[in-house]
Structures are given as structure tokens and as C-alpha cells.
Amino acid sequence: MVDEFRAIRLQKGEAGAPRVEEAVLTPDDLMEGDVDVAVEATTINYKDALALTGRAPVVRRWPMVPGIDLAGTVAASRSALWREGDKVILNGHGLGETHWGAYAGLGRVKAEWLVPLPARFSAAEAMGIGTAGYTAALCVLALERHGLSPERGPALVTGASGGVGSIAVALLARRGWHVTASTGRPEGADWLRGLGASDILDRADLAGPGKALGSERWAAGVDSVGSHTLANLLSMTKRDGAVAACGLAGGLDLPASVAPFILRGVALLGVDSVYAAQAERLRAWERLAEDLDPAVLASLVTEIGFADIVPTATALLEGKVRGRVVVTDVGAATRI
């Protein structure tokens, strides 16, 4: 059994800003659940960064151990679904929001929240994908369910330098799409082309107020930005095309017209990765295992230490982090 383990814990601070502390916890401190997972790797998503900095009300229960993604090994199970030694992943399900999350050496969670770690991936590689990549896969699957394929025309990915966008570029290109990557980092153009992007678009071209109906340019889109960017993408989507929307980095608003929907039959496909059905989660991870080239994944990932989580979260919100961040020494201070 684990005697004690380190964790990052958030206490409710003044004026909405959390107080971040590093704590030493024991299994008795954990919340209810029927599976204990020794955390081997985690990551920093946009939502994690918001929680750690207090820039948005992500945390809904205090105190909170943040971190919405984990990969590791079952240390103890009180469920027939899992056995000690099983390799597992958890994405979402309120982790780091209402239930203690991944920034700890040990997590206690509900059995039905877990999915098996695909044999192709290590724990670190799975966290190189994380909720961002799993969400990207859900977006691609949503476009395919809508009947879209590369023969219909090109696809646009917004926020392409970020976690969701970069993996969406790679997954779409792998399936034969001509991908345009929208980014505010021109210095990363060669990197995006290495992921499979055919064209690079400056994000400024989509960031301002646009026309109710623009020229038809893309058959499909994956958007993690929202606001004017999503509105412009919708206005320029081809007849009977669709956009999978999964993020709000640019804002919660959608200053759009109904014109694309009623004059071109464009569809807006909402993608919720937090509470996605188990069958969809499994299919998304199957697609990632099928289509994500290990060399491409390696080019997406930067590894950091446990002590670097908080400063990296700030850098992510400032647009200084490219691709994915992986923390592999979460359990390094755990005493067994």
C-alpha cells in the first residue's frame, strides 16, 4: 500500500484566486471511489491552467487537487471491472473540478470512469495525448458521423498550435484531408507542416467581426477557440459542411448569423469530452492508437517535472506553450 504521497492542492482564496500549496497526503485523505490508481503521468490542459491560476471558475469543490487527466496502474480495486496491475487512463468526469484529480501520486476514482490504456501507448505517451488529443479524436469522429470525408474539400483547424488543434491536424492529415492550420505563431509553421498541415492561416484573419456569409472555403472544421473565430469559420464553411466545436479559448460568445445554417445547411457539432459516453471514449482512443504516428506524437510533447506544473500553467495561458506538456514524475516522492 501507499503510505503517503505528494499532491498539489488548491484552497479557496480571496477574490476568487486559489491558494496553491504542495501537500503530503495519505490514502485516508482521498475522496470516495472504488479504484485506487498510482499516477504515473499527467499533463496540463487549458482547463487545468485556468484552475491553477483562478482565471475561470473551474473548481467547484474545495479544497481540490487539480488535474483532469491521468494515466497509471491500478493499485487497489474494489470493483469487478478492474484488477490490481491494470494499466488505465482517465479523462474528465469532473476530475480536478468536483473530484480530486491527477496532480497527486495516488488517485481514488469510480471504476466506470476509467478506460484501458491502449497497448500501443506508454502512460507518458497517453498523457502526451491527454484530454486535448482525446477531444481532437472525438471531433474527427463527429465530422465522420456527419458524413464528411476528404473528397468533400479541405478542413480548417483553429488554435492549431495548441493541444487540441495540433493533434486534430495530425489526425485529419492521416486520413487524407487537406488541412489548413490557423495559428497566431508564424514561427511554428514548419512544425505544423510536419504534423500534416498543407496551408497555414494567420489567426488574425478569423479573429475580428466578419460577414454573415462569407466565401465558401472549407468543407469541415475543428474549432477550439469560439467567439469570432468560430463565427467566421461557420460563415465560410461549404454547403452541407460541418464544424466540430470543443473549446472557448477566444470567448464563450458566438457572434454569428443563422445564414450558414439556413442557406447552406452547415452544421455546428458540439463536442463534450468531459462526460462523453464510454463507447465514444473507447472509440476515440482506438482511433488515436490507429492514426497517431509515434514520431508525430513525440514532436508534440515537452516533458516537465512536478515542480514545473504551476509556472507552466501560467505560460500556457500566455500562449507560450506549443503542443502538449507531460509530467512523468508525479509519483516520484511516493513512499510504498
Question: Could you read off the pLDDT of 24-42 as tens digits, one per residue?
Answer: 999 999 999 999 999 999 9
Classify domain 5-117+305-327 by CATH number.
3.90.180.10
Q: What is the pLDDT of residue 332?
A: 66
Most confident of the following: 17-21, 154-158, 294-298? 154-158
Class of domain 129-270: alpha beta
Contact by Cβ (8 Å): 10, 52: yes
Our separate counts of H helices and E strands in the chain read 10, 15
pLDDT higher than threshold 60 for residue 334: no
pLDDT higher than threshold 80 for residue 6: yes
Residues with Cβ within 8 Å of 47's Cβ and at least 6 positions away in sequence, in order, are: 58, 68, 96, 97, 131
What are 243-260's pLDDT values in tens digits?
Answer: 999 999 999 999 999 999
Domain with CATH 3.90.180.10 in the chain: 5-117+305-327
Long-range contacts of 290-296 (CB under 8 A, 24+ apart): 291/170, 291/171, 291/174, 291/175, 292/129, 292/133, 292/167, 292/170, 292/171, 292/174, 293/170, 293/174, 294/125, 296/170, 296/194, 296/195, 296/196
Q: Which residue has the higher pLDDT, 145 or 336?
A: 145
Q: What is the pLDDT of residue 336?
A: 38
Q: What is the pLDDT of residue 335?
A: 43
pLDDT higher than threshold 60 for residue 124: yes
Tell me the pairing of strands 237-245 and 179-183.
Answer: unpaired
pLDDT-based confidence at residue 3 (cuts at 50, 70, 90): confident
What are 259-314's pLDDT values in tens digits?
Answer: 999 999 999 999 999 999 999 999 999 999 999 998 899 999 999 999 999 999 99
Q: What is the pLDDT of residue 128?
A: 96
The stretches of 264-329 forming alpha helices (DSSP H) are 278-291, 294-300, 309-317
Domain with CATH 3.40.50.720 in the chain: 129-270
The whole-model pTM stands at 0.93
Across 158-168, average pLDDT:
94
Using only C-alpha atoms, the chain has a radius of gyration, in whole angstroms, of 20
Contact by Cβ (8 Å): 42, 65: no
pLDDT higher than threshold 70 for residue 333: no
**pLDDT mean across residues, the chain:** 95
Burial 214-226 (b: 16+ CB within 10 A, else e): bebbbbbbbbbbb
User: What is the spatial distance between Cα 223 and Cα 270, in angstroms, rounded to a whole number?
Assistant: 10
Side-chain-facing half-sphere of 158: CA atoms under 13 Å: 29
Tell me the pairing of strands 115-116 and 87-91.
Answer: antiparallel
